[in-house]
Amino acid sequence: MDSYVKGSIIHLLGSLSSLLFPTLFSFHLSDPQSTVKSLFLSNTLLFLTNLVSIYFIYSDNLKKRYWNGTLGFLFGIVLFYFIGIIYGAPLFSEWDRTFQWALLMSNSVLFRTSFALGFDPLLWMDFYSQTFNKLGSNKDVSISFPAIGSVVGCWFGAIPIPLDWDRPWQKWPVSCAFGCWLGLCLGTIATLLFNLLRSNSKRS
Amino acid sequence: MKLISNDLIKISVNLCIFFIGLWIFFEGMFLSQSNASSSLFQSEVTQDVEANSTHFTSSFQSNFIPLDTNRSNSTFDRMVFVLVDAFRSDFLFKEKNEMKFISSLLNEGKAFGFVAEAVAPTVTLPRIKALTCGGIPNFMDLLFNFNSEALKEDNWIFSLRKKGKRIHFFGDDTWIKLYPGQFDRFEGVSSFFVADTVEVDNNVTRHIKGEFDLWNSFVEKKERRVEEEGKEKEELQHPWDALILHYLGLDHIGHLEGPNSPLMPGKQREIDGILRDLFQKIGELDEKTKGKTLLVFCSDHGMNELGNHGGSSLGETSAVLVLASPHFNDKSKRSSSPLKVAQVDAVPTICSLLGISIPIQSLGRIIPSFFESIFGEEDYLKILWNNSQQQSRVLKSRGKDNLSLNRLFNEAQRSHEKYLNQRESKDYRDAIKNYNRFMEEIQDEWTQSSSQDSFALWFGIILLFISTIGFLSLLCTKLLEETPIKSLSHENVIKKDLLLLFMITPFTFMIWNGFCNQTEQNSPVCSSSLGFKSFIFLLVFASLVIARRDIEVVLAKSRSWKGSIRWDSLIVCTCIFLYFAGLLGSSTIEEEHQTFYFITTTLLLVQSWKDFRGKSKDLSSLLYSISLLFISKVMRSWNQTGNKWLGGPDIHKWLLKEENQFFCGVLFIFSSLFVLSLGLVSPNSIQSSLKRKTFKMLSFLASFGIVLYKMGLFPHVETAQFVYFCIFTMILVLLSLPKGENWISRIELYLITFSQLFLLLHKVPNAFLIVGFWVQTFLISLLNQKNEFWRSILTLRWMGYSSFFILGNSNGISTIDISGAYTGLSSYNEFVVGSLVAIIGLSGPLFFFLYGIQMNNNSQGNAIKSISMIFGFRSVVILIFSLFIATHRHHLFIWSVFSPKYIYEIAFTLFDVIQSLFLLLLIKR
């Protein structure tokens, strides 16, 4: 089996199980503390599977890459916290929720990007700007698909927040987080399919 | 130039169709109701008067028992009707209320209190109509709230007058306009000086003593006459039989400072005191005259947590209704929560208590629990019968003869008849049960009924659709302007146009005649003249021809189009689509600001991304983007708006707190200094030194006046008028500048003048937002140096819409800031107040529009592009929303959510037309 495929499978399993946690505990969602807790649990899980799955895709120069990835991850927390705020999250109150969301986004977007491309935000921007027109190699796809999926999913996940259904999952950041997980899973599945198809066509 | 005029013809043809369609739709949606009801009144009124004079016959064959007032000893001779504007029900019913006296009456059983649920629009005029006529109001009443005409519908004031009763009125002059010539003595106070919370009520209260003195002297005179002549020869005319008092002060406090204002408890105590005084006087009077006087204390609507009203939130719709009399003596145990009734129920209740006929249009039902406890069995049944009879007549007149309802009514009548003959309590209970069930079901019938002219709705939508096609095809040609046309055959153009003509002509006339002959002859669309019809037809034909050509061009161009779809365009398209989808739900309309904020933030993020990459990774542009995004975030937490989170914490409320007043003042002075410094620095582009100096001088004086006026140092009407004068002169100076010379930079001077007006009109805590707007636009101008035309104009437009909500507006009526529109007015002037309301509401979009002209350096081509985008966008919005409310016209929220939104959309459309005319005027220069 291709190492990309292995990595993608692990990534998919990781994102699926990280989605599972809050879903299982979703009956606690009305309680803010447990929302934060379950988010934290799934963040940890996602982070660990990320560490493993990315290893299968990029096996060279590991020490530097993990260092870059961690840097990107930390940078991503700050960045996404800021984005959360400008999209309307409260500045200080409920900071833990916003922080957990930022962890999740950074986890699913910037850790892998930074791991693959090095800690260079300008390079990331170029990379993501190009993906829309040119898909790139298997490596590129396994970075960009899940990342774009989770950002788009999160964006659409924000839509139900102002609706008047009065459900606990409409509270910030639950629906956004679910959107992100969903996008992440879809992105990983797409990567997997893409890699499988490509390796098949290469073989034939 | 030829191209431009071509485009102008296209735009004006489509605009004509658009407005005709909009008008027809609007008329079908909002205006047909009033026609229907007035015609009903005309036909029924004579019949009803006759019916009332018919005397009681023992058998039910004649189908009529009048409420014989002489025999019933439970009816009242007089009424004192006290209406307290915007008195929310919880002011009385909450645990710790200020209304000690009324609460004690309620506890003693001398009064009955209800929460009267009002329907939107919760503004005074439709509520007064509901409280006197008992009908469900026409939505148009809202628009004419400030322009009341004499009322033609039947109401209890007419009923009282018919019986020769005399009515005295003191309070809001809306009543006097509604019922001219009905009051024998009256004095109106104006509801338009919102800042006055004391005098406006004192002017009502001071009449009370005199009114009761009139009765006292009447009684004395009567007694004297009886003594002198032994017996009373002729009936003396009572001084009054109904006294109506309408207090406005509480509403004014609400508008100024909200329901938690420190003035509020005092005002409530004042009203409680007035009611105590009235109750005492009534007791004395009743003893003297051996009569009975009813005291009605009610409110027209409530208020929301900001003290505004107009919408349909719980606070706004819970009005209060209290019926009190010294003769009431209800010993039954009181439940802690008051009974909820509809506001229109007050009408049949009051009429039955006074023994007068219920207004023909009335849709309310008497309050059963109340009547049961104060009336005897026989009288109670009679009242129930009377009310049911009236209701079934309304039902018939609306063409809704319902068999099961009729059966219910007949059954009730049979039990009633049986009871009258045999006096068995079983029949009594049966009759009551059936009457009440009949009324309940008939109430359901009212909530389901509607009276829109559906033919007009669909006809309007077709016209809107045609104009939308026209605008969109024009927009597409403009979007693809740079793409060259490869091949476009010009040979068959005329042939194709003729073919189109032959195709649509029979089709149109078939539809038109088919519809009109079939059902709705009275639809205004059908009764319009032939000339008007052919005018519309020609317009539609022209629009279709133009659109067909445009589409041909667009298709030809798109075939040769080589560019790829970019990700940022995809995001922009998704955003627009999302916005359109948001028009299709009640909560997304109520919270539409969220959609706008979300989309604006997304667009700004995309823009920052593009700028940062485009500008060779310039770090300063990143800094500008971050500050722009952050400032936008801060500004939108200034005012909570919408419906659900309206009362949530925001900076505005924080600044209003007692302990933050100093900070609020500092912010205001900072804002005015900011605008002043702009006014002192910018005019250097003016060539003539005299004009430059005048402008600077005037902007200094205006700022000075604004600070004096708004900070309460010299808060007189004259100060505001002085500021108006300065602003007006500044505009005159700008207009007098020689033409052609550097007019783009002059827009900035207009913006500065506008900012002065902004500071004067808006509430003090909002003043800082003008600084925010300036900073926002400044940052955009730094970022936007070589940006695309389309995206930048779209972003600016979207920021304009966001700024509408940032200033605290929403799609509900209750957020319109009316109090600001009376700044500097010493008398009410419809036109001035209306335009000031519009300026206050639209100041955000106006600012960004003016700025957009300056930024985009409008050439002729750009102006046409902007206009085509404005109308392409607007026509789609109107079309989608019209379709939506035409299909959802029986929706529960049609009057409370969708109709106000439609009115807002029309206001924005008119604003767009003004914008476009302005752009065209600029081109001409």
Q: What is the pLDDT of residues A40-82, one digit of tens each?
A: 888 888 888 888 888 888 878 888 888 999 999 999 999 999 9
Give pLDDT, residue A26.
59
Residue B87's H or E segment, with its range, is none
**Contact indicator for B374, B148 with CB cutoff of 8 Å:** no
**Contact indicator for B749, B698 with CB cutoff of 8 Å:** no
B636 Cβ under 8 Å from any chain A Cβ: yes
Placement of tokens 């003249």 in the chain: B529
What part of B 578-607 touches A (C-beta under 8 Å)?
Answer: 578, 585-588, 590-591, 594-595, 597-598, 601-602, 605
Q: What is the pLDDT of residues B559-568, one digit of tens each?
A: 777 666 788 8
Q: Which residue has the higher pLDDT, B95 or B605?
A: B605
The structure tokens listed for B82 are 């006290």
What span, in angstroms and rounded, lies between the C-alpha atoms of B895 and B360?
A: 23
Q: What is the pLDDT of residues B347-369, one digit of tens each?
A: 988 888 888 888 887 888 888 77
CB contact under 8 A, A88 and B644: no
Q: Which residues of A touch B (CB under 8 A)?
A: 82-83, 85-88, 122, 125-126, 129, 132-133, 155, 158-159, 161-165
CB contact under 8 A, A159 and B644: no
Which of B65-69, B475-479, B603-607 has the least mean pLDDT? Answer: B65-69
What span, in angstroms and rounded, lies between the C-alpha atoms of B758 and B839?
A: 9
Closest among B321, B439, B400, B348 to B154, alpha carbons compared: B348
Q: What is the pLDDT of residues B101-113, one digit of tens each?
A: 988 888 888 888 8
Residue B483's H or E segment, with its range, is none
B622 Cβ under 8 Å from any chain A Cβ: no
**Contact indicator for A112, A151 with CB cutoff of 8 Å:** no
Contacts of A126 in chain B (CB under 8 A): 613
CB contact under 8 A, A158 and B598: yes
Give pLDDT, residue B841.
92
- Alpha carbon of B598: minimum distance to chain A alpha carbons (Å): 6
The amino acid sitting at A65 is R
Q: What is the mean pLDDT of residues A185-200?
A: 86
Query: For residue B311, is pLDDT > 80?
Result: no
Contacts of B601 in chain A (CB under 8 A): 86-88
Give pLDDT, residue B193.
67
- For residues B459-476, one letter each, b for 16 or more C-beta atoms within 10 angstroms of the residue's C-beta and e for the rest, the string is bbbbbbbbbbbbbbbbbb
> How does residue B57 score in pLDDT terms, banded at 50, 70 and 90?
very low
Closest among B364, B372, B220 to B285, alpha carbons compared: B220
Contacts of A83 in chain B (CB under 8 A): 605
CB contact under 8 A, A86 and B632: yes
- Alpha carbon of B633: minimum distance to chain A alpha carbons (Å): 5
Contacts A–B by Cβ distance under 8 A: 52
ipTM attached to this prediction = 0.93
Would you list the DSSP string of B836-894? HHHHHHHHHHHHHHHHHHHHHT--HHHHHHHHHHHHHHHHHHHHHHHHHHHHTTT-TTI
Angstrom distances, CA of residue A192 to CA of A57, A169, B925:
12, 30, 62
The helix/strand/coil state of B228 is helix
What span, in angstroms and rounded, lies between the C-alpha atoms of B515 and A37?
A: 64
Positive or negative, the CA dihedral B751, B754, B760, B765 is negative
Contacts of B626 in chain A (CB under 8 A): 82
Contacts of A105 in chain B (CB under 8 A): none
Q: What is the pLDDT of residues B235-245, one digit of tens each?
A: 677 888 899 99
Contacts of B597 in chain A (CB under 8 A): 87-88
**Which residues, 6+ apart, have CB-to-CB distance to B61 below 8 Å?**
none
Enumerate long-range contacts of A17-22, CB under 8 Å, 24 or more apart. Answer: A17/A42, A17/A45, A17/A49, A18/A42, A18/A43, A18/A45, A18/A46, A18/A49, A18/A181, A19/A178, A19/A181, A19/A182, A19/A185, A21/A45, A22/A174, A22/A177, A22/A178
**Confidence (pTM):** 0.76
CB contact under 8 A, B633 and A85: yes
Contacts of B629 in chain A (CB under 8 A): 86
Positive or negative, the CA dihedral B905, B911, B915, B916 is positive
The amino acid sitting at B128 is I
- Alpha carbon of A83: minimum distance to chain B alpha carbons (Å): 9
Query: For residue A102, is pLDDT > 50?
Result: yes
The helix/strand/coil state of B296 is strand
Enumerate long-range contacts of B708-712, CB under 8 Å, 24 or more apart. Answer: B709/B760, B710/B668, B710/B759, B710/B760, B710/B764, B710/B767, B711/B665, B711/B668, B711/B669, B711/B764
Give pLDDT, residue B51.
43
Give pLDDT, residue B391.
83
CB contact under 8 A, A155 and B602: yes
CB contact under 8 A, A88 and B597: yes
Phi and psi dihedrals of A165, rounded to 5? -85, -15
**Which residues, 6+ apart, have CB-to-CB distance to B547 below 8 Å?**
B466, B469, B470, B473
Contacts of B590 in chain A (CB under 8 A): 164
Cis peptide before B121 (omega within 30 of 0): yes
**Contact indicator for B844, B806 with CB cutoff of 8 Å:** yes
What span, in angstroms and rounded, lies between the C-alpha atoms of B814 and A123?
A: 50
What span, in angstroms and rounded, lies between the C-alpha atoms of B371 and B375?
A: 6
- Alpha carbon of A201: minimum distance to chain B alpha carbons (Å): 27
Residue B188's H or E segment, with its range, is strand B185-189
Contacts of A82 in chain B (CB under 8 A): 626
Cis peptide before A173 (omega within 30 of 0): yes
Cα atoms in the 13 Å half-sphere on the side-chain side of B782: 19
What phi-psi label fits residue B912: left (phi over 0), alpha (psi between -120 and 50 degrees) or beta? alpha
Give pLDDT, residue B468.
94
Closest among B166, B114, B78 to B364, alpha carbons compared: B114
What part of B 157-176 touches A (C-beta under 8 Å)?
Answer: none
Q: What is the pLDDT of residues B400-419, one digit of tens each?
A: 666 777 888 888 888 888 88
Give pLDDT, residue B66.
43
Among B567, B632, B644, the residue with its CB nearest the CB of A164 is B644
The helix/strand/coil state of B792 is helix
Among A86, A131, A134, A175, pick the best mutation site for testing chain B contact (most B Cβ within 10 A). A86
Query: Closest residue of B to A131, CA-based?
Result: B567
Which of B38-47, B467-476, B501-510 has the least mean pLDDT? Answer: B38-47
Query: Closest residue of A to B643, CA-based?
Result: A164
Would you list the DSSP string of A111-162? HHHHHHH-S-HHHHHHHHHHHTT----HHHHHHHHHHHHHHHHHHHHTTTTT
Give pLDDT, residue B53.
36
Cα-Cα-Cα-Cα torsion B480, B482, B488, B493, nearest 10 degrees, comes to: 60
Give pLDDT, residue A45.
85
What part of B 847-876 touches A (C-beta under 8 Å)?
Answer: none
Burial label, B555 (beta-carbon count in 10 A; 0-12, 13-18, 19+): exposed
Give pLDDT, residue B563.
66
Give pLDDT, residue B19.
93
What span, in angstroms and rounded, lies between the C-alpha atoms of A100 and A21?
A: 14
Burial label, B925 (beta-carbon count in 10 A; 0-12, 13-18, 19+): exposed
- For residues B272-296, one letter each, b for 16 or more C-beta atoms within 10 angstroms of the residue's C-beta and e for the rest, the string is bebbbebbebbbebbeebebbbbbb
Cα atoms in the 13 Å half-sphere on the side-chain side of B753: 23
B892 Cβ under 8 Å from any chain A Cβ: no
Q: What is the pLDDT of residues B653-709, one digit of tens each?
A: 888 888 888 899 999 999 999 999 998 888 777 778 888 899 999 999 999 999 999
Among A85, A132, A155, the residue with its CB nearest the CB of B567 is A132
Among A133, A158, A163, the residue with its CB nearest the CB of B564 is A133
> How does residue B72 score in pLDDT terms, banded at 50, 70 and 90?
low
Query: Closest residue of A to B608, CA-based?
Result: A125
Contacts of A129 in chain B (CB under 8 A): 567, 613
Q: Which residue has the higher pLDDT, B268 or A132?
A: B268
CB contact under 8 A, A87 and B598: yes
**Which residues, 6+ apart, have CB-to-CB distance to B164 below 8 Å?**
none
- Alpha carbon of A175: minimum distance to chain B alpha carbons (Å): 15
Which runs of consecutive H residues, i.e. helices, occur in B682-716? 689-710
Which of B137-141, B444-448, B917-921 has the least mean pLDDT? Answer: B137-141
Q: Which residue has the higher pLDDT, B707 or A10?
A: B707
Contacts of A164 in chain B (CB under 8 A): 586-587, 590-591, 644
Query: Closest residue of A to B606, CA-based?
Result: A129
Among B594, B629, B644, the residue with its CB nearest the CB of A86 is B629
Q: Which residue has the higher pLDDT, A184 or B682?
A: A184
What angle in degrees, to the nearest 10, is found between the helix axes of B661-681 and B689-710? 170
The amino acid sitting at B393 is R
What span, in angstroms and rounded, lies between the C-alpha atoms of B104 and B919?
A: 65
List the beta bridge partners of residue B322: B113, B297
What span, in angstroms and rounded, lies between the C-alpha atoms of B875 and B472?
A: 9
Q: What is the pLDDT of residues B744-764, one digit of tens each?
A: 778 888 899 999 999 999 988
Among A83, A122, A158, the residue with its CB nearest the CB of B617 is A122
Which of A11-20, A61-70, A111-120, B575-584 has the least mean pLDDT? Answer: A11-20
Give pLDDT, residue B39.
40
Q: What is the pLDDT of residues B830-853, one digit of tens each?
A: 788 889 999 999 999 999 998 888
- Alpha carbon of A39: minimum distance to chain B alpha carbons (Å): 24
Closest among A172, A11, A15 to A90, alpha carbons compared: A172
**Contact indicator for B124, B148 with CB cutoff of 8 Å:** no
- Alpha carbon of B589: minimum distance to chain A alpha carbons (Å): 10
Highest mean pLDDT among A52-56, B43-47, B902-906: B902-906
Give pLDDT, residue B451.
57
Query: Closest residue of B to A166, CA-based?
Result: B644
Among B567, B596, B604, B621, pick the best mutation site for testing chain A contact (most A Cβ within 10 A). B567
Q: What is the DSSP letter of A106?
A: I
Contacts of A165 in chain B (CB under 8 A): 587
The helix/strand/coil state of B561 is coil
Contacts of B642 in chain A (CB under 8 A): 162
Q: What is the mean pLDDT of residues B174-196?
A: 80
Give pLDDT, residue B368.
79
Positive or negative, the CA dihedral B204, B364, B306, B149 is negative
Query: For residue B545, is pLDDT > 80?
Result: yes
- Alpha carbon of B569: minimum distance to chain A alpha carbons (Å): 12
What part of B 554-573 touches A (C-beta under 8 Å)?
Answer: 564, 566-567, 570
CB contact under 8 A, B587 and A164: yes
Q: What is the pLDDT of residues B722-752, one digit of tens each?
A: 999 999 999 998 888 877 656 777 888 889 9
Average pLDDT, chain B: 81
Q: What is the pLDDT of residues B617-652, one digit of tens each?
A: 677 888 888 999 999 999 989 998 887 787 788 888
What span, in angstroms and rounded, lies between the C-alpha atoms of B518 and B511?
A: 11
Cα atoms in the 13 Å half-sphere on the side-chain side of B865: 21
What span, in angstroms and rounded, lies between the C-alpha atoms of B726 and B13?
A: 41
